[in-house]
Structure 1
Amino acid sequence: MNPPLSNTESRSENRSNVPVVTDYSRRGQEGTLEEPAIERAREATICVVGLGYVGLPLAVRFAEANFDVVGFDVDESKVETLQNGVDTTGDLTDEAVAESGVSYTTEASQIADADYVIIAVPTPVDCDNRPNFDFVEAAASTVGSKMTAGTTVILESTVYPGATREVMIPALEEASEMTAGEEFFVGYSPERATPGDEEHGLADVVKVVSGQTEQVLEDVAALYESVVDAGVHRAPTIEVAEASKVVENTQRDLNIAFVNELSMALERLDVDTREVLEAAGTKWNFHDYRPGLVGGHCIPVDPYFLAYQAEQAGFTPKLIQTGRAVNERVPQHVADLTIKALNECQKTLCESRVLVLGLSYKAGVGDIRSSKIANVVEKLKEYDIDIEGFDPFADADAIHDEFGIDVQTELDFTDFDAILLGTPHEEFVEMDLEEAADSLNEQPALIDVTAALDENAVADAGFVYRRV
């Protein structure tokens, strides 16, 4: 059952039809609805709740634009690290964190100083692939208990259409004993963070924004326009903005699922998938997607949000569910390719040793959460294959705990039968293949998950080569 709607809404009325207040004055500041939104935004104090890979760059960006910014997180260790000027995401720099002027804190009382509170906490799925809003509800309860009248709360977390009104607003209202749309205001702007991608940072990607009313929408738009060089897109409703985020990643998931299934089919037919895609790509309207593992915090998660809410409304989105199922089979496919390569090298599986290069979910980042390499390792362990890992970006202790394997701190190919190139960090793409082959056991194999290496160069170095 969905949580009750706030007392300013009913299921039969237009959801954007929320009462509008006529006075935005707060803590002695002059301000009315007639005042330009950008002027009100420029005078604002902003609190970002949740200082992860979404929240921290957001807080720093606003501070760089000369806003007063409070960065709040419940993780004392993280906050202490940030206070010491150390970047905890890998997407910024220590200098940017230290010199930003953000007030990093675990003191929830500082939320009361904010005109705008931006909630940027995780929204995972549970073991049954159902949305888990525990972090959103906890953050909203904390914000609601501290915020003052007139505050605008903006959710950035990925949610299904309707969740801002059905999950966050009730939590804010209960904790604050105030009414949304009358005593405080709500907007939604989905994050579009791309860790490790310098060309598509916060300022470079159009920001989708929405609000309870036209006035709230304009205020939220003005706020983000001050830090997003690419501009903003004003969604007509909060639900449209919510749906846009899950749809953009569901589209990618489905396209990748197609080429992944194609790869599995063509592998059985002994046809090279990459060569097929290269040939098909010569047509002007062919879309360029490549097969591979689908990890991370968005693409393998967001489709479940859309599918879940559609099911609640009585519709089963079979294509979305099938796409997810196909992509979840890819780790087994990679394990199968590894086993075939070892067999071709005449290796006994239970006596084989495989070195996995790259265990994070994406090249150039150290985040191992949601990395599908873990699933590949799990499948290979079923054959008693000895697995060891190395990743220059990820923490070795974290890898050991997450993957349950030994981890090298310095790269050493000695006494291994195969290399599994899981995440194509630049160091691996540029490695000396002949030197690596000479250090491995006789007749080595190389399994290249993303086809990052030149097949001829790998073969010339003496490897048996397989790729997805």
Structure 2
Amino acid sequence: TMIFQKLGISVYDVLEAAATKWNFLNFTPGLVGGHCIGVDPFYLAERARQINHDPRIILAGRAINDSMADFIAERVCAQLSGEGKILVLGLTFKENCPDLRNTKVTDLIQGLRRRGFTVDVHDAAADPLEAKKFYNIDLVPSLDDLKDHDYAAVMGVVSHDAYKSITGDDLERLLEPGGLIADVKAMWRDLDKPDHLRKWQL
């Protein structure tokens, strides 16, 4: 993913081409968190060390996955001028699931804030009380109640079904003129967007 970004190619275009091969397995990039993939490799790596085996491949994979939040924050913020507001859609560790354990979206939010942006967060599946308790994040209760043209960027981070149906008109209402649609999970690849809005995709 990071190589393709430097080449100016979306990893999802590469995956689409690769899918023409009969034995293709569709693993998609993003923020790899949760209580399995985000944690279990470290248990395996520790056990490997106990039997004098070097688990460098396992740990390299985790290091890359753990760096993705900052990589995405850097890429998005580089396309925005200075300070502003960003709306992040999704907080759970995976789509259509209320589970917030070990979500990497919090790392992304911190990365955006470190770069001077104000961040609002909405999640269609998460419990607002848990978001507040575990991460001190006050979820936006409804997208419909948000002020028009208030955001420099809207980021689709977790591909909840509720976000896949968002239209170009919906995003235009939320974004400043010339605002950025940041499509981390390729939810809006075929989005019909107004010409004045910009789009970035992982």
Q: TM-score, normalised by structure 2?
A: 0.90
What's the counterpart of residue 447 of structure 1?
Answer: 182
> 2 CA distance for matches of 1:386 and 1:404?
15
Alignment: residue pair count? 199
What's the counterpart of residue 390 of structure 1?
Answer: 122
What's the counterpart of residue 99 of structure 2?
Answer: 367
Measure how far apart 1:367 and its partner are: 1.5
Q: Would the aligned equivalents of 1:341 and 1:464 in 2 still touch at CA under 8 Å?
A: no
Measure how far apart 1:401 and its partner are: 4.1
Q: Would the aligned equivalents of 2:121 and 2:138 in 1 still touch at CA under 8 Å?
A: yes
Q: 1:401 to 1:378 in 2, by over 3 A?
A: farther
Alignment of 1:1-80 (within 5 A): none
Say which of 432, 438, 446 aligns to 2:167.
Answer: 432
What's the counterpart of residue 59 of structure 2?
Answer: 321
Q: 1:317 to 1:418 in 2, by over 3 A?
A: same
Identity %: 30
One-letter amino acid of the counterpart of residue 438, structure 1: R
Q: 1:388 to 1:400 in 2, by over 3 A?
A: farther
Higher relative contact order (CA 8 A, sep 6+): 2
Measure how far apart 1:308 and its partner are: 0.5
Say which of 73, 77, 99 aligns to 1:339.
Answer: 77
Alignment of 1:70-149 (within 5 A): none
* 1:382-433 alpha-carbon deviations (Å, 9 max, x no partner): 1121001111321223323444444211212531211111111111110232
Q: Would the aligned equivalents of 2:172 and 2:197 in 1 still touch at CA under 8 Å?
A: yes
Q: 1:413 to 1:425 in 2, by over 3 A?
A: farther
Q: 1:275 to 1:321 in 2, by over 3 A?
A: same
Q: 1:376 to 1:296 in 2, by over 3 A?
A: same
Measure how far apart 1:339 and its partner are: 0.7
Q: Would the aligned equivalents of 2:96 and 2:125 in 1 still touch at CA under 8 Å?
A: yes
One-letter amino acid of the counterpart of residue 4, structure 2: L
> 2 CA distance for matches of 1:326 and 1:386?
26
One-letter amino acid of the counterpart of residue 132, structure 2: H
> 1 CA distance for matches of 2:32 and 2:61?
11
> 1 CA distance for matches of 2:147 and 2:161?
18
**Higher Cα radius of gyration:** 1
Alignment of 1:186-197 (within 5 A): none
Measure how far apart 1:359 and its partner are: 0.7
> 2 CA distance for matches of 1:295 and 1:463?
30
What's the counterpart of residue 114 of structure 1?
Answer: none
Q: Does 1:420 align with 2:152?
A: no
Measure how far apart 1:338 and its partner are: 1.5
Q: What RMSD, in angstroms, separates the aligned Cα atoms of the two structures?
A: 1.8
Q: 1:436 to 1:269 in 2, by over 3 A?
A: closer
Measure how far apart 1:462 and its partner are: 4.1
- Match of 2:182, SS state, is strand
What's the counterpart of residue 268 of structure 1?
Answer: 6
- Match of 1:359, SS state, is coil
Say which of 382, 397, 400 aligns to 2:132.
Answer: 400
Measure how far apart 1:464 and its partner are: 1.2
Q: Does 1:463 align with 2:202?
A: no
One-letter amino acid of the counterpart of residue 466, structure 1: W
Q: Would the aligned equivalents of 1:337 and 1:467 in 2 still touch at CA under 8 Å?
A: no
Q: Does 1:311 align with 2:49?
A: yes
Q: Would the aligned equivalents of 2:172 and 2:194 in 1 still touch at CA under 8 Å?
A: no
Gaps of 5+ in 2: none
Measure how far apart 1:309 and its partner are: 0.5
One-letter amino acid of the counterpart of residue 361, structure 1: F
- Match of 1:304, SS state, is helix
* 1:323-355 alpha-carbon deviations (Å, 9 max, x no partner): 11111111111112211332xxxx32x2x1001
One-letter amino acid of the counterpart of residue 435, structure 1: D
What's the counterpart of residue 283 of structure 1?
Answer: 21
